[in-house]
Amino acid sequence: MPATAVTQTSIDLVSTMSEEVWNNQNYDSLDDLVSDDFVQHGPVTGMELTGRDELVSNIEQYHAAFSDLSSTVNLVFGDESGEYICGHFTNTGTHDGELMGIPATDVKGTVDVIGIYRIEDGKIAESWISADMFSLFSMIGTYPETDSFAA
């Protein structure tokens, strides 16, 4: 069944975030993409980000650790109302900067990410992110201290 117009608009919103923010590092675009009271749950159990500033800080951490970071949208779909959107992404990059206290290893790796997004008033209001962090840390050959997962 084809997506409704409102569902397609929400799908485009999530896809634009991947392209503009993750691939192009255009953090200013978040003003148009996420709500003022945005909340992200994950990608690590117990981790929660609140607001654009915390979101930008978190994304910048990954861009600093993987200067060639690239996010590919594999699949995005949503409910009929367009309120909930689910996406599967593949992120690739070379670990050439510090990540959560782990020095650069120059290892190129790939991590799968699943996100569920709640759309409200044309913006992403909330997200639940699950990333294969175990595979990421296995690829770079070490694991951070547990307190490194705090926002």
DSSP assignment string, 59-127: HHHHHHH-TT-EEEEEEEEE-TTSSEEEEEEEEEEE--S-BTTBPP---EEEEEEEEEEEEETTEEEEE
Range of the domain at 118: 5-144
CATH number at residue 61: 3.10.450.50
Task: Report yes or no on whether pTM surpasses 0.75.
Answer: yes
pLDDT digits (tens, 9 = 90+) for 95-135: 999 988 889 999 998 999 999 999 999 999 999 999 988 88
Judge whether 34 lies within some domain: yes
pLDDT of residue 146: 59
Number of structural domains, the chain? 1
Give the closest residue to 83 by CA, choosing from 125, 118, 116, 114: 118
Taking only the tens place, the pLDDT of each residue in 43-95 is 876 789 999 999 999 999 999 999 999 999 999 999 989 999 999 999 999 99
* 15, 76 Cβ separation under 8 angstroms: yes
Per-residue pLDDT at 6 = 82
> For residue 24, what is the DSSP state?
T
